[in-house]
Chains A and B, each alone.
Chain A
């Protein structure tokens, strides 16, 4: 069974950094692109970033470009999202998803940016 488990969320102040992780199991992680999608409280889904199977190609939404960095460690079956200079508007549940089409989703991890 495909499983994605996010971790690393929490309450942080504006301007600080946070790194999210997503542990994958049940499929050959190195064969698939991966994505991050977020959902602010009471709002819709917003695509954040994507990465190719090898990690050699990355994609970002304009709202996070230059602040967030997606990466992966295929030896550890883990996806990462390094989030720098966090803003209040980054407050959301962050989901990792299998491939760029987001065919399987994790349960999400909540990031709250507030002073």
Chain B
């Protein structure tokens, strides 16, 4: 089961800013870095943000990540149609001694 909670959906019009939250606990987000993944329809997930706020090469700077306490957030500024996808957060959980993923958020561009 997922121990990181995300809203099921988020939406915005082209050009708007959308944020996705990820709520965890002291055993995961509170102690370990957060990664974010983007999964476009029918494709494999892709790393979007690593170590809370680092963008891998090739990821547009419209995507940004942050972390505070036991929560993390992904922000998409200047929303574009190609950003329509599912987004997942993930972190290592020291209590479970394993990695945990968020419940996933479907971002829709209106």
Contacts and interface: CB of A to CB of B under 8 A. Distances in A.
B44 A105 contact: yes
B98 A104 contact: no
B62 interface: no
A47 B92 CA distance: 10
B90 A102 contact: yes
A40 interface: no
Contact of B101 (A47, A50, A100): A47
Among B2, B44, B46: residue with most chain A CB under 10 A: B44
B30 interface: no
Given A50-B99, A102-B37, A44 B47 contact: no
B45 interface: yes
Interface in B53-110: 56, 86, 88, 90, 92, 96-104
Contacts of A27: none
A45 B98 contact: no
B100 A47 contact: yes
A44 to B, nearest CB: 4
Interface of A: 35, 37, 44-47, 50, 59-62, 95, 100-108
20 contacts: A35-B99, A44-B86, A44-B88, A44-B101, A45-B39, A45-B45, A45-B88, A45-B101, A46-B101, A47-B90, A59-B99, A60-B98, A61-B98, A62-B96, A102-B35, A102-B37, A103-B47, A103-B50, A103-B56, A104-B47
Interface of B: 2, 33, 35, 37, 39, 44-47, 50, 56, 86, 88, 90, 92, 96-104
